[in-house]
Chains A and B, each alone.
Chain A
Amino acid sequence: MLRILHDTKFDFIRLWRITTAVTIAFIIPGIVLIGLKGYNYSIEFTGGTAMQVKFKTAPDAGLLRKTIDAAGIRNAEISQFGSAEKYLIRVQDERQIAELARGAETVADKLETALKTKYGADGYTVESTYAVGPKVGGELRQKAFYAILLSFLVTLIYLAWRFEWRFGVAAVIATAHDILATLAFIKYTNLEVSLIVVGGILTMIGYSLNDTIIIFDRVRENLHKVKREPLYDTLNRSVNETLPRSILTHATVFATLLALTMLGGEVLRPFALVMLFGVVTGTFSSIYVAPPILLWIEYKYPRAVGDTGGVGVKPMRQMDMHQSGEKPKISPAGR
């Protein structure tokens, strides 16, 4: 039997100070950066035109830029897309969006006319065109925001029903941490925030919750099984017991995501990258965020003795008494 990290007895929760510091050091600068500079939103959200063009022979980027400028298209962003012959031209100019809304000659039409004059009808093929007005873009942004919020609420309700509120809150805080960390990650890597990236964030939410739930499920079971054990130890034991599963599942998911990142093409890469990071932060949070938070909630709001609903943890005073006689390191700030 091949076993990885079998029957381990790591004291994961003891490290909570260090891990909290690490994750805060990662998240805060990212959030500040977002606040200062904002995101690089995709055309879908801002409105505008994106055109993917494949040239017969690799064009000179400067010349291409000049051609587009000469056509009276301002603020065009021109970037190589995959190979030397493929270019992505994006136009997010406010005035052009207004013109588009008026139903004037579209930016896409102008672009095509310019390209046809310069490179000839056979010199290039338009692989894809995407044009969206500001109204639809705004709607999408709003919808994406609500989606994240709603998925949050729905899972909170489900967890509160399946476990009890303390677990639900801990899991949701862990997930909120994952979202913040992922948002910071997107900022650091300067990924363009598109619909597919939002899809990645939502998938990541599901995945990371999944991971937390597996550990909490074990905590719930252990609380029933072993009565006289401090929650601190129960949490540690549960994380240790589920460790082989975590390693293996993360390995398989990581493998498929790596395949997607490297072979899945330009369109899917941002999604795969967000998810790759999601696997890392999801694993981190289900070990270092969710259990300590659960412990802290239990400390702040201990359940009544004899409370049969939920998981039946020991009263607080006993929980304080750590097995080795040492006090748990969890305490609210300022005490």
Chain B
Amino acid sequence: MSAIRSRLIWIGFLVALSAYTLFPRNVTIRIPDRNTGAMRDTVLRHIPLKLGLDLQGGMYIALEVDETKGVVVNKSEAIDRALTVVRNRIDQFGVAEPVVQKVGSDRIVVELPGESDRQRAEDLVRSSAFLQFQITDKTQALERVMPRLDQIIRERGPALGAAPAGKGADSAGKGALGLFTTPADTGKGAKGKDGKPAADTGFLASSGGAFSKLVQPGQMPGEYIVAIADVPTMQRYLDDAAVQAALPPGKAVHWGVSDDTPGVPPTFTRLYVVDSRPIITGEYLTDAKPGNDPIEGNKVDFTLNNEGGRRFKEETSRHVGDYMAIVLDDRVMGQPPVIQSAIGTRGQITMRSSPLQKVQDLALVLRAGALPVPLKVVESSTIGPSLGSDSIKDGMRAGIAGVLLVIMIMITYYRLSGVLAVTALVLYILWTLALLAGLDAVLTLPGLAGLVLSVGIAVDANVLIFERIREELVHGKSVRVAIDDGFTHAMSAIIDSNVSTALTALVLFWVGTGPVRGFAATLLAGIAASMMSAIFVVRTFYLIWLSRTKGTQTLSI
């Protein structure tokens, strides 16, 4: 009798513990507000069993060092430094419970639950945010090497994937871009809006070379205009090693950010030639804030520290009258302003018609600091919130149907004993979920499948025991002895089979990422819980039944 009581106390304790583990509670966390960036308290209804990104919706991004622009020797160390910056940015991004961690030696994994704006999040973590101020070239350096560039392209024509001259280059460019612009657009582009060709540099006047015919001079020294359709061709030329070698020394070539009016596809892009030595870089930046100006539109105001301010002043006083390009990640932001007088510690980056969100994100990445190495996205997955809830619905439906079928089979076949096993099954599900919550595991869609499947497998232990009891009864043993022997004899099979399943689950856990790992965790928790429910709980039920019905010689099994 006391054995039964202590068993019941154990079961009751485990049930209470599981219920407590799984009980939803309110948690207060501090996250930055999406718009103002200020920290504020947010109360979350926290359900201890975490749902994977595939069930609740969200983003997963894996980043690695991008070595296309130079080899990085110590990747692990570079990733460590980059991790701090990425974490900084994500923390300010305003997502509840983000995960930013290093995986292996050369990868950063970012998980953003509930976030589904893929492009924005990718840009946010990937942008190097390397800010430099460079003076645009006023020596017509590009014009001087233009004949040479034309010649190189003519010679290397086939290697560059373009016809030697004339129309070939045009069509190649369009093909790669996907026919967004017609030839008519290209013509308009060259004189669209404020990009009116200034044609004051005689050198360029329709020289007809493969390179020179793609560029038109812009409004200021060092500025050129390239039609959108020609951008891919131009990029191919600029990527070519021979072309790069022939570019003027001490100068750098950057694309401008295409000036987009909302709703109208851009027709041209600017190309800038600047002094490659920056007068100052973003490392001196102490603060950046989004702002708005009636004339300039959206902008980012930034502040430099004292040392930066001193340098900036010194340099700008030397360059009065020149144009200063603000270069972020090798792209010129806005149109370079003319330096009217020495500038101190404050400045601004004008973004014109860029949406407010873009401006906010730029301020954010500037504040969080530049990435020490460029990163690239090697894997990304985005699950919309509706898909997640659909998956839960499907999984639940399948789960309920599966469990009902199992209950039917068990009760039809084993009668009372089947009812005992099914009752234990309820405890099994409760314990499995509690174990998952306790281990901080994540419930994923495959995990849900694992849970459903494990219900089918969990009754296996009971089936083994019941079949054993039946055999012992056939051998003429009394009910009490048959139950005892049934449990004892079935044990070795149960243990061996469960350990082998657990071993494969462990392997799965090791190999899997995200969802599959969730599946393995569910399988492991399920095995542990089924040992407890199928053996301990059902045994207890039998003991109670035996003590209630003394002298019974038949067992409903």
Q: Given A131-B380, A255-B402, A255-B405, are A205 and B504 also a contact pair (CB < 8 Å)?
A: yes
Instruction: Type the 1/0 row for B158-183, where 1 means its CB is closer than 8 Å to any CB of A.
Output: 00000000000000000111110000
Given A199-B512, A259-B401: A131 and B500 interface contact (C-beta under 8 Å): no
Q: Which of B386, B452, B496 contacts A217 (CB 8 A)?
A: B496
Flag B412-424 by CB within 8 Å of A: 1 or 0 each.
1101000000000
Q: Are B505 and A256 in contact (CB under 8 A)?
A: no
Q: Which of A271-287 contact B (CB under 8 A)?
A: 271-272, 275
Given A217-B496, A263-B394, A253:B504 Cβ within 8 A: no
Interface size of B by CB at 8 A reads: 85
Is A64 part of the contact surface with B, judged by Cβ < 8 Å? no
Select from chain A the residue with minimum beta-carbon distance to B387.
Answer: A127
Residue A146 lies at the interface, judged by CB distance under 8 Å to chain B: yes
Say whether B452 contacts A259, CB under 8 Å: yes
Q: A196-B446, A199-B519, A260-B402 are in contact. Are A248 and B453 (CB under 8 A)?
A: no
| Interface residue A155 (Cβ < 8 Å from any Cβ of B) | yes
Nearest to A242 among chain B residues (CB) is B467
B interface footprint on A181-225 (CB within 8 Å = 1, 0 otherwise): 000000000000001101100110111011101100110010000
Q: How far is the CA of A257 from the CA of B179 in the complex (A)?
A: 49
A264 at the interface (CB under 8 A from B): yes
Quick check: is B390 within 8 A (CB to CB) of the other chain?
yes
Where chain B touches its partner, the secondary structure class is helix
Q: Are A136 and B500 in contact (CB under 8 A)?
A: no
Do residues B453 and A253 form an inter-chain contact, with CB atoms below 8 A?
Answer: yes
Among listed B209-217, B428-436, B457-465, interface-contacting one: B457-465
The listed residue with most B CB atoms (<10 A of its CB), out of A198, A262, A263, is: A263
What's the dominant secondary structure at chain A's contact region? helix
- A103 contacts chain B at the CB level, 8 A cutoff: yes
Q: What A residues does B474 contact at CB under 8 A?
A: 7
Known: A133-B378, A154-B503, A217-B493. A72 touches B179 (CB 8 A): yes
Contacts A151-B503, A260-B449 given; indicate if A213 touches B463 (C-beta within 8 A): no
Residues of A within 8 A of B508 (CB): 147, 151, 199, 202-203
**A265 touching B464 by the CB < 8 A rule?**
no
Partner among B66, B456, B460 whose Cβ is within 8 Å of the Cβ of A103: B66
The CA-CA distance from A143 to B507 in the complex, in Å, is 10
Cβ–Cβ contact B406 & A252, under 8 A = yes
Is A21 interfacial (CB 8 A cutoff)?
no
**In the bound complex, do residue B497 and residue A265 qualify as a contact, i.e. CB atoms below 8 Å apart?**
no
**Interface residues in A12-40 (C-beta closer than 8 Å to B):** none
B contact set with A: CB distance below 8 Å = 54, 62, 64, 66, 68, 118-119, 122, 126, 175-179, 376-384, 386-387, 390-391, 394-395, 397-399, 401-403, 405-406, 409-410, 412-413, 415, 445-446, 448-450, 452-453, 455-457, 459-460, 463-464, 467, 470-471, 474, 489, 492-493, 496-501, 503-508, 510-513, 515-516, 519-520, 523, 557
User: A130-B382, A135-B64, A253-B460 provided; 14 other pairs, C-beta below 8 A?
Assistant: A112-B119, A125-B384, A127-B384, A128-B381, A129-B380, A130-B381, A133-B378, A199-B446, A211-B497, A217-B492, A218-B493, A252-B406, A255-B405, A259-B399
* A interface list, Cβ under 8 A from B: 1-4, 7, 52, 54, 70-72, 101-103, 106, 108-110, 112, 125-133, 135-136, 140, 143-144, 146-147, 150-151, 154-155, 158-159, 162, 195-196, 198-199, 202-203, 205-207, 209-211, 213-214, 217-218, 221, 241-242, 244-245, 248-249, 251-260, 262-265, 267-268, 271-272, 275
Cβ contacts A to B, 22 pairs, < 8 Å: A7-B474, A72-B177, A103-B66, A106-B122, A106-B377, A126-B382, A127-B383, A127-B387, A130-B380, A130-B382, A133-B376, A147-B508, A147-B511, A151-B508, A199-B519, A210-B498, A214-B497, A217-B497, A245-B460, A245-B464, A253-B457, A265-B390
